[in-house]
Every structure is written in C-alpha cells, then in structure tokens.
Amino acid sequence: MSATNERVRILRGREWARPVRPVRREVLGAAPELEEGRPPLLFVPGFGHGAWAFAEHWLEHAASRGFPAYAVSLRGHGGSERAPEATLRAYTHDVVQVAAGLPRQAVLVGHGAGALVVSHAMARYPARAAVLAAPVMGGWSTAATALRRNPVGTLPALVGGPLKLHRRQLFSRELPDADARRYAAQLGRVARRAQWQLLAGREAEPAVGRPPVLVLGSPDDRVVPPAALARAARRYGSAPLLFPGMGHDLMLDARWREPIDAILDWLVKEPQRA
C-alpha cells in the first residue's frame, strides 16, 4: 500500500467533518542503550489504567532488549488531560496520533480494553505488528462475564456509573498484597460514553496492511475467560499464547517478565515474515 493510500485510511471524511478535540497526552518512554534499528513499541493501557502500568516494568525491560518503548495514557487516564466525555473514537485517535509521531513504523501493544482500542487503531495506522494482551474486545458477553464474576463492581457501570475491578480480579495471589493494593489505588474512572461503547462491542474495520497479530493472556484471568481469548486469536488466524497462574494485569503481576519476553521473542522473528 502506498503512503498516499495509508494517509487516506488514517484521515477519513468523518474525521475532517467532526474532528476529535485535541488534548494533552502523557507519553512515557525508555530508550535502549544501543540503537539497533528495531521498531518502537507503543503500549496502550486498558480502561482505568495509565502509562504508569507499563512504566513499572515493561518499558525498561523492552529497552534493555533493544526496543525503543513508549506508553501512552489515553485521554482522561494517567497524566493525560481530563476528558469526561471521551469516546472509543477519541481513544483510537490518541493512539494513532502518538504512533504517527514515532520515528519508525511502530508495533502496537494493547492490554485489556486497550486491545480493543488497538484493533480500531490498526484500521487507521499501518502498524508493523500488533499484540493484544488479555484483550477485552467488548460486547454484552463481556458484561455478562463481569456481572458473574464481579456483580457489585459491574452493576453500576450498566446504569452509567463507574466499573470497579477488585484487585483479586487483576492480579494473582503471587503478587504481594501491598503491591496489589498500590496498583489498584492508581486505577481511574473511564468516560461513561467510552464505557458504553465497550459494552456495545462495535467490531473494528480490517487492519491496514494485514500486520501480524499476537494474542496472549492467562487461562486464570478473572476478567477475560479462555473462550474470549480464543475468539480474539481466531479472528487473526492464530491461537492464544497462554500464561497459567497469572492475573489480568500481566504487566504488573508477580511473573511479569514471562509475557513481555514472549512478546519480544515473537517480534524478533515473526513480523519479519509479514
């Protein structure tokens, strides 16, 4: 696909007619000591999380293996500007804008509902590759699972209130309780419209250029059941890579090194075939 065609896919008529409101976005990064020409990674956190969730471990670890690594806080999250009326489209815009500003074609890595944002961003940005970690891809099956596993935290979200995840949904019992409480205390509130759009589960358009996609998660995730992992992977013609015994927040859990090393190992070889 030519650069001209890619630009058309990124900037569409609707974006011109109804542009997304610009905001100040927080982007954290870590650079490798030696530049090896590897593609930059852009980590996209799930709803309620900010770039801090990747800065805790994964950014520096990726940089130590030669990958320039960045994490963006979606508007209204982390250190980005408040945006109480944000939408899934606005979140997608944030990712596309940050990715387009990186020095080379980026790999998009989305976690949780950030994986849904990445799937929409891939229709507008020609990613080098994509990784969907513990993907929450939306739809009423997502709401049903949340209601079954966390009724007290989920019911308010169905009537416009905040979705509240308990720390035992997010982390394994291997993570020290003090760390689990500290991470859970940093979670923010999701914009109401974006939360409803997550439940509506609008499927993303096909990705630009058909980049290779890796789906990974844990069969013990109390947010994303194994069947949902399998569905997400099947959409991209693969099977999910599983990490038993881990919680939903793979990047913060006690064994955080295992999934990021698997991602980096995959990036070293698989996208070269694309």
Give tens-digit pLDDT for 263-274: 999 999 875 544
Q: Which of 45, 32, 155, 160 shows the shortest CA–CA distance to 95? A: 45
Of the pLDDT bands very low, low, confident and very high (cuts 50, 70, 90), residue 166 is confident
Contacts of 125 (CB under 8 A, 6+ apart): 10, 95, 96, 99, 100, 106, 108, 208
What is the rounded average pLDDT of the residues 220-228?
Answer: 91
Cβ-proximal residues to 187 (8 Å cutoff; 6+ apart), any chain: 48, 49, 165
Q: Given this model, what pLDDT does residue 169 score?
A: 85
pLDDT at residue 191 in the model = 82
Q: What is the mean pLDDT of the chain?
A: 86
**pLDDT of the residue at 68:** 98
> What pLDDT was estimated at residue 197?
79
pLDDT of residue 212: 96
Pick the closest to residue 211 from 151, 124, 86 (CA basis): 124
Which tokens sit at 119? Answer: 């799937």
CA distance 172 to 7: 43
Q: What pLDDT is attached to residue 215?
A: 98
What letter does residue 140 receive in the DSSP assignment? H
User: Which candidate, 18, 42, 40, places its Cα nearest to that of 97?
Assistant: 42
Q: Which residues contact 34 (CB under 8 A, 6 or more apart)?
A: 66
Residue 165: what pLDDT?
A: 72
Out of 30-44, 72-86, 150-164, 200-214, which region has the weakest mean confidence (pLDDT)? 150-164
Give 261 or 154, the one with higher predicted confidence: 261
Look at the domain 3-139+165-273 and name its fold.
Rossmann fold (3.40.50)
Reference 112, options 230, 218, 202, 224; nearest CA is 224
CA dihedral 256, 261, 262, 268 (to 10 degrees): 160
Query: What is the tens place of the pLDDT at every residue in 111-164?
Result: 999 999 999 999 999 999 999 999 998 765 655 565 556 554 454 555 555 566
Residue 171 is which amino acid? Answer: F
pLDDT in tens, 50-106: 999 999 999 999 999 999 999 999 999 999 999 988 999 999 999 999 999 999 999
Region 10-18: mean pLDDT is 61
Q: How far is CA 227 from CA 54, 165, 214, 243, in A?
A: 26, 20, 16, 15
